[in-house]
A and B are shown apart, each in its own frame.
Chain A
Amino acid sequence: MAIHIIDRRLNPGGKSLENRQRFLRRAKSLVQGAVKKTSQERDIKDVLEGGEVTIPLDGMHEPRFRREGGTRDMVLPGNKKFIEGDYLQRSGQGSAKDSGPGEGDSEDAFRFVLSRDEFVDLFLDDLELPDLAKRKIAQTESEGIQRAGYTTSGSPSNISVSRTVRRAMARRIALKRPSKDEIEELEAAIAACADEDERLVLLAQLEKLKAKSKRIPFIDPIDIRYRRFETVPKPVAQAVMFCLMDVSGSMSEHMKDLAKRFYMLLYVFLKRRYKHVEIVFIRHTDRAEEVDEQTFFYGPASGGTLVSSALQAMHEIVRERFNPSDWNIYAAQASDGDNSYSDGELTGMLLTDKILPACQFFAYLEVGESGGSAFDLSDSSLWTLYDRLRNSGAPLSMRKVSERSEIFPVFHDLFQRRETQEKAAP
């Protein structure tokens, strides 16, 4: 009998992908909720790492007619001491637990692993790219060079030797240029020839061959080919994200937490668009410094508040390390809105003249204490300043938040299509 042995390991994988996507689509709202919940507990960079989510099974239940209760009879193995007619106590007895429930059916929650892409997609699912992106696309392109075939003219340094020699050879064969071997053979024949008449004939032949080989050059100018290059626009696939935060005494842990969540969202959002995203953390009191993430969020600091110091620091870092033609620059500033009065003018000037022209996007997030509705209070000095700049046409996005739950909506809000405001951008 013939037995077939087949290696299926190389078959394309992902046979269940389609089913899996149908399942995710169906469970979308549930999964989305779970994703948001999961992401609240993570660090900025980890937020992208996909992972396990748990959704209530209820929504995805597949019902069947099931019976329960009633009188039950069962046969069990492993009797040790019972004899016929014994009674077993119902509660806490070491007997007869219900036979194994069907897989998963008895669990309240359904747990499964999302891939990184699925996670991020769901996380950012209902976000539109801001209109700002259009401006950005225009700017993200720089010129690159790529090979584009061959040409008959060009600079000597671009000669393609192999291509040229190949064409020369084709031409030589086509025109029957005598080869070196042929001539040498004939010369040898002449040298060995004893008969004078025949020698003359051979000599004449040799002359003819030599003349022909002179007439048909080894390499002709028409054989020469140059490598051709053309320039193509190349999108810049890297972005830098500046996180500016006021860490003066007036910022509470709660406010920092709000800021962190916002940065997290921005990071995820950028990460989906760009291959390479760098983060620069700048914290400031009355002077600014670049720090690592840990210090940024948790390091102690105190002092007055000068926003301009942070902007100045950012401007310097941009100038040193992130050329705006190579990098897409995003900045998000979080503050409780305090700024010393005398600093207002300098801040405004730095922002409009230096920062905003280099940035794709600048968001200002004013964080408030939990419980206090930010909108009841009178506007802070920074808010007033930025508001004035925005009204005069500067491309700023700004929002106030005081509750953790508001972060996502606010982020949402900032990245939704807002025709009017973005049209005002220069």
Chain B
Amino acid sequence: MTERLFEGADWDFHTLQRITDACEEVATNDLGLDVYPNQIEVITAEQMLDAYSSVGMPLFYKHWSFGKHFAYHEASYRKGLMGLAYEIVINSSPCISYLMEENTATMQTLVIAHAAFGHNHFFKNNYLFKQWTDADGILDYLDFAKNYVMSCEERYGRTEVERTLDAAHALMSHGIDRYPGKKKLDLRAEEKRAGRRRQHEEEVFNDLWRTVPKGASKTKSALSIERRRKLLGLPQENLLYFLEKSAPRLAPWQRELLRIVRHIAQYFYPQSQTKVMNEGTATYVHYRIMTKLHQQGRITDGNFLEFLQSHTNVVFQPEFDDPRYSGFNPYALGFAMMQDIERIVTSPSDEDREWFPDIAGKNDVMGVLRDVWANYRDESFIAQFLSPKLMRQLRMFHLHDDPEERAGIRVDAIHDERGFRRVRRELARQHDVGYIDANIEVVDVDLSGDRRLILHHRVIKGSQLNETDAKRVLQHLADLWTYDVALIEVDANDKVLREYVVSPRPITAAA
């Protein structure tokens, strides 16, 4: 009989060590996971609130909006409206998991299995994270960002910095490269680059240049539209990148701030595309580890029941007419799909053999799952692996709501032979960031005229921008661009639906 990891609910740091070792044993031997080194930190509820308000990161630059979130979370937490997460895990190397001190020993085991092995493996192996994030550099980069913002505040004043950051935050969701470029992001080098740039400026500074008379300005040959767009790298959907590189009147430090916000947005980009998979992986891993530990007799029946209770809560999926329903629960959907894959691999039905010839009956559950975890994102994962059985089990159906349709909302497809593929395609599309985010790009700059920046919003399925918010964001954009900005909403047939034009605010008025 193997020794128990702990008795009852109490734990100390030796217990945590034993738990982690036990989890690691199962994770490596049974599941074949490949993880970053783990760092486990025990924190209090207040520290958890701190982490909430700075997007879960351990250090972050100072900005009022984080204070706002903190105040908001604190108020709802104090009133008991909101429970806190059991853990937060950070995609970094070493992979940092924050555990709440209030957790019982069982909960600590659960969250260590979930975060330190489940999420950790996903971070290290999923192609999106490999492509877009630099786990080794992120903490150093955040430290650099924090200090850089602070030094800017000292040099240029808090109001100025705050205004730039406000604007950058408003555009954050459009500060992302969606297609991998030539260079992999190296966040450690970023810091050195900024330092070198400043040093270079200081070295080559010579006040004499100011006194050199300027020659007659060169007459500009009229650029062809094609040439001009090419020079500016248009069309460009990464608005922050475009501003950083091309906004005419930004100071170097402002460009650097935009760059920082852009990098951070990029860092979180994979997370928004892999909610279902990420949580599904972590939930599946903790379920396997906990079950194994229970089988080995290392946790008691009572503790295992406690685990099952929280696990069941986590993977609860209310139905659409339940008042608690607020969309698909990524934990529930992810976990159900992982278990479903396990079923298909080990004991497939004829239907499964037909739908999933590649994996059905292959018997190597972990091999298949590890491959899935490494090479898919939510959209492709659902499109590929949502099985008819699971659709039936969750009784999925597809609604089509056309405002023009008088009769009401149409049930387009249900979980039957004819509907499986359509339901699956629609659900996959719901998880596609390409559909979720508004498709906005810079298309042109009127260089010869009033330097107006022209953006297009490609309207999909008649869904236009919220007017108040759009105007506010454009105001921020115009402030950075310092000339007029026009946003034109066009539909698929290039028909103009609406046009916004916003002029920058004079700087003094905003100060």
Contacts and interface: CB of A to CB of B under 8 A. Distances in A.
Interface of A: 1-9, 11, 13, 15-16, 18-27, 52, 60-80, 82-90, 93-97, 99-100, 103-104, 110-113
Contacts of B400: 71-73
Interface in B400-442: 400-403, 407-416, 418-419, 423, 426-427, 429-430, 437-438, 440
Nearest to A7: B42
14 contacts: A3-B39, A6-B42, A16-B67, A22-B162, A23-B71, A63-B470, A69-B403, A71-B403, A71-B461, A71-B462, A73-B400, A87-B408, A112-B75, A113-B75
Interface of B: 13, 16-17, 20-21, 24, 37-44, 46-47, 49-50, 53-54, 62-68, 70-72, 74-75, 78, 94, 98, 101, 162, 166, 169-170, 172-174, 317-322, 325-328, 394-403, 407-416, 418-419, 423, 426-427, 429-430, 437-438, 440, 457, 459-466, 468-470, 472-473, 476
A75 B411 contact: no
Contact of B464 (A26, A61, A68, A83): A68
B289 to A, nearest CB: 15
B411 A64 contact: no
Contacts of B419: 84
B40 A64 contact: no
A96 B429 CA distance: 17
Given A4-B39, A5-B20, A85-B411, A79 B466 contact: no
A94 B322 CA distance: 9
Contact of B72 (A66, A97, A104): A104
B326 A99 contact: yes
A111 B71 CA distance: 8
A87 B409 CA distance: 5
B394 A78 contact: yes
Contacts of B24: 1, 3
Contacts of A60: 68
The 8 lowest CB-CB distance pairs between A and B, nearest first, are A78-B319, A70-B463, A23-B67, A19-B67, A70-B462, A100-B326, A63-B472, A112-B71
Contacts of A25: 64
B412 A78 contact: no
Nearest to A97: B325
Contacts of A61: 472
B401 A74 contact: yes
Contacts of A1: 24, 37-38
> Dominant SS at the B interface?
mixed
Nearest to B418: A84
B473 A64 contact: yes
A362 to B, nearest CB: 41
A93 to B, nearest CB: 8
B41 A8 contact: yes
Nearest to B402: A71
Contacts of B412: 73, 84
Contacts of B327: 99-100
> Dominant SS at the A interface?
loop
Contacts of B40: 3-6
Contacts of B415: 79
B174 to A, nearest CB: 7
A262 to B, nearest CB: 31
Nearest to A96: B399
Contacts of A89: 408
Contacts of A86: 410-411
Given A7-B13, A72-B401, A78-B321, A64 B173 contact: yes
Contact of A8 (B42, B317, B463, B476): B42
A110 B64 CA distance: 15
A67 B399 contact: no
A227 B78 CA distance: 52
Contact of A21 (B67, B166, B429): B67
A65 B396 contact: no
Contacts of A94: 321
Nearest to B239: A65
Given A77-B328, A88-B409, A68 B463 contact: yes
Contacts of A63: 170, 468-470, 472-473, 476
B63 A19 contact: yes
Contacts of A11: 47
B49 A16 contact: yes
A75 B398 contact: yes
A134 to B, nearest CB: 34
Given A65-B173, A70-B463, A79-B414, A20 B320 contact: no
Contact of B20 (A3, A18, A65, A95): A3
Given A4-B94, A78-B322, A100-B326, A69 B67 contact: no
B37 A5 contact: no
A14 to B, nearest CB: 8
Contacts of A73: 398-401, 412, 426, 429-430, 461
